[in-house]
Amino acid sequence: MWKSNKVSPDSQVLENIAYEVQQLSRPVDFNTLHHGNKVLALRRLKFLLEHSTRDRVQKCDMQELIYSSLSLVYYFGTRLKQEKLKGKLLICFSARQFHLAEEIFHKVMEGLHPEHSELVIKTTLKFFSEVSLWSFENFVTQILEVLLFYNEGKITLFNIMLTDIHCVVFSDLVSARHRTRVLYELLNSKNWVIDSQHLLPFVTRFLNFFTNSACHKRPTFQYLKKGFEVCLRRIFERTANKHKLTLITTILHWFTMVDIDKENVLDVSTLLDYAAFLYEVGRYRDSFEGGFIHHIVKKLIGSTDSLYSLCGCRILARFLDRHNNSSYLIVPTLYYEFSQVPLKVGDYDRSDKAFLRDHRELFHDYFVKAFEMYHSRQSNVEALYFAMSCLVLEVPCGFTAASVTCMLMFIQDFAITTDIPEKSRFWLHAVVLSLMSLICWVHKAPELYRYVNEIVSRRAKEAPQLNPPLLDDYKIENKRVTWNRDTLFFEDWELRYGLWKHFRSTQLLFCLAMFLAILASASGGRSKKVIIHVPYKVKKIRHTHTVYKTIHHHHKHHEFPNYLEHPSEEHEHFHHMLIDDAHTQPIPAIGLPDYLPDVPINDEDEMDGVPIIPTRHMFFKRE
């Protein structure tokens, strides 16, 4: 630690020592003729730091002090690795010199941070450029880890590196790629303390870089675009869940305001989709801020550009899909009564139902509008089907079933009455049938299933092109048979009746089950076996693939103390289900041999292939 009361030599003597260290640490090469000067510079710099206070060190030529300490770490570290590669046995002296250089570098960083952190970072980056060390990414990363630690994990280092990349991107793309990879590794550092207040401007700068590189036509810029993308992904991974939504909102607003080349819209949307995938969604009402869903639906799904609408559907479905059913909802299909489909149905929650009630008109208007605008694009139709399927699966209640059914009737009416290509017409009818079968499968509604199965059977005989899946080319064998008969489509009153009967009977059965459970508990003692057949809606337990399930629970009551002689009497009872409503990292070390450049082994005194510092002017001259 620095001590203010330490007895030290005269200030003029210390200035002379600092100037001597600057001269001895040059040039940065591996000629054995200069080895003695490097060892002497190491000793003199150690003496200077031991006999100086923090204030005195900060009054020195700080740029030269940083430069000298970095030169010594690089020289002794590379020399130690060369001796290991040559198989020398006595490397203890080189190891001791390297560890001393590392200790001195940490001491210099401790003396200059945090007051002069920006100067330290800029000087260090300049050293890497002058000595051509950016290609040795591991070494550079570990040095910058030390700077990040002493800078208390602030985002200053990342902003300066981003500016540095912007300065060299048009002159040296290879070096810019090396810098980007180093930045990517640093974004995963445990020393980085994420501050949401300063993170948003940093992410916005990154997005601008990403857009500029994405829109540039040179092939080399495409590699740089990929580097910016993985950096943004790393930021999403590191950010806390409560801050992820803020980042996603920022990207969404930026995405809708900035004019992006259409060829790269999908790349940006993939980035958004990944951010949405990382965001942990709980109850919809608690997970999304006011206006967030409106922005996705109005600005993206309702956009006049089909690509933006496609991106909006995928992003919305990613947010709604809490049980990761996306891999099973890629294309519309039929869900039969006993289909063994690995779909997970969400639990009924009043808060989610209230969320859907608040957004029902929004979903209805813009989903129907999107189907009407992009009925000829199969990818858009499938994306809309995915989003609507998530609503049915995640909020399994009568309100959701009725809302989605209402949307489907509007879509069916549009497909029947509007002059659109036949292929698009077939797609829309197939989507309507697929979603209706999904509603029946989720709620296990026998009456509704009966009606849906009738439609499926009629279409299979007379117009199979109206059933899923969606095809690129439809070959109609019997062209004499007309497919536009009324019996091949859904009737509003039939669907309303099927939904009403199912959910009405479900409520009555639930009330009956509760009454019998209370009656059994009030009778005291054991009663006769109670077996009640209830549908899934009443059970509120794990989803099964049968229409009805028998609920009975066994309890063994031992009436006799000697239960080995008297077998227990089993009774079965019905049980009603209740609804469950600072910077503390250690100092980073600079290790061997991973971080050092793999320079070739050369038995000559001067090693070839190692970058040497060019002629460099002094910052300050000795008076």
Q: Is a pLDDT exceeding 70 seen at residue 561?
A: no
Higher pLDDT, 107 or 213: 107
pLDDT-derived band at 60 (thresholds 50, 70, 90) equals confident
Region of poorest pLDDT, from 240-244, 252-256, 571-575 = 571-575
Higher pLDDT, 541 or 299: 299
pLDDT of residue 390: 97
Q: Is a pLDDT exceeding 90 seen at residue 294?
A: yes
pLDDT-derived band at 366 (thresholds 50, 70, 90) equals very high
How distant is the alpha carbon of residue 564 from its chain centre? 59
Q: Is a pLDDT exceeding 80 seen at residue 454?
A: yes
Q: How many CB atoms lie within 10 A of CB 589?
A: 13
Among 86-95, 100-109, 221-230, top mean pLDDT goes to: 100-109
Q: Is a pLDDT exceeding 50 seen at residue 598?
A: no
Whether 483 contacts 466, CB under 8 Å: yes
Round to whole Å and give the CA distance between 452 and 335.
Answer: 10
Q: How many CB atoms lie within 10 A of CB 621?
A: 7
Region of poorest pLDDT, from 174-188, 306-320, 422-436, 489-503 = 489-503
pLDDT of residue 69: 92
Q: Is a pLDDT exceeding 90 seen at residue 498?
A: no
Which residue is associated with the tokens 């995963």? 188
Which residue is associated with the tokens 């607003």? 253
The predicted model gives 551-579 an average pLDDT of 38
pLDDT of residue 220: 63
Q: Is a pLDDT exceeding 90 seen at residue 58?
A: no
- What is the share, in percent, of the chain residues with pLDDT greater than 70? 77
pLDDT-derived band at 148 (thresholds 50, 70, 90) equals very high
List, as one string, the DSSP characters of 3-46.
-TT-----HHHHHHHHHHHHHHT-S-S--GGGHHHHHHHHHHHH
The predicted model gives 368-388 an average pLDDT of 97
Q: Is a pLDDT exceeding 70 seen at residue 593?
A: no
- What is the share, in percent, of the chain residues with pLDDT greater than 90? 48
pLDDT-derived band at 554 (thresholds 50, 70, 90) equals very low
List, as one string, the DSSP characters of 284-344.
HHHHS-TTHHHHIIIIIIT-SSHHHHHHHHHHHHHHH-TT--GGG-SS-----TT------
Q: Is a pLDDT exceeding 50 seen at residue 229?
A: yes
Single-letter amino acid code for the residue at 162? L
Higher pLDDT, 59 or 329: 329
Higher pLDDT, 58 or 320: 320
pLDDT of residue 218: 65
Assign 284 to helix, strand or coil. Answer: helix
pLDDT-derived band at 205 (thresholds 50, 70, 90) equals confident
Q: Is a pLDDT exceeding 90 seen at residue 380?
A: yes
Q: Is a pLDDT exceeding 50 seen at residue 313?
A: yes
The predicted model gives 33-54 an average pLDDT of 87
pLDDT-derived band at 619 (thresholds 50, 70, 90) equals very low
pLDDT of residue 21: 82
pLDDT of residue 280: 95
The predicted model gives 479-483 an average pLDDT of 59
The predicted model gives 559-572 an average pLDDT of 38
The set of residues, in sequence order, having a beta carbon less than 8 Å from that of 111 and lying 6+ positions away, is: 2, 49, 52, 54, 57, 58
pLDDT of residue 117: 93
Task: Please provide residue 461's backbone torsions phi and psi, each rounded to the nearest 5 degrees.
Answer: -85, -45
Round to whole Å and give the CA distance between 594 and 591.
Answer: 7
Task: Please provide residue 611's backbone torsions phi and psi, each rounded to the nearest 5 degrees.
Answer: -60, 135
The predicted model gives 360-365 an average pLDDT of 96
Mean pLDDT of the chain: 80
pLDDT-derived band at 217 (thresholds 50, 70, 90) equals low
Round to whole Å and give the CA distance between 536 and 547.
Answer: 8
Assign 553 to helix, strand or coil. Answer: strand
pLDDT-derived band at 61 (thresholds 50, 70, 90) equals confident
How does DSSP classify residue 582?
A: -
The set of residues, in sequence order, having a beta carbon less than 8 Å from that of 153 and lying 6+ positions away, is: 191, 192, 193, 583, 585
The predicted model gives 447-464 an average pLDDT of 92
pLDDT-derived band at 517 (thresholds 50, 70, 90) equals low
The predicted model gives 372-384 an average pLDDT of 97
pLDDT-derived band at 581 (thresholds 50, 70, 90) equals very low
pLDDT of residue 552: 39
What would the two tokens of residue 274 be? 């990944």
The predicted model gives 402-425 an average pLDDT of 95
Q: How many CB atoms lie within 10 A of CB 343?
A: 17
Q: Is a pLDDT exceeding 90 seen at residue 320?
A: yes
Q: Is 170 exposed, middle or buried (0-12, 13-18, 19+ CB in 10 A)?
A: exposed
Nearest to 272 by CA among 251, 254, 290, 293: 251
Give the CA angle between residues 328, 332, 336 to the nearest 5°: 80
The predicted model gives 313-320 an average pLDDT of 96
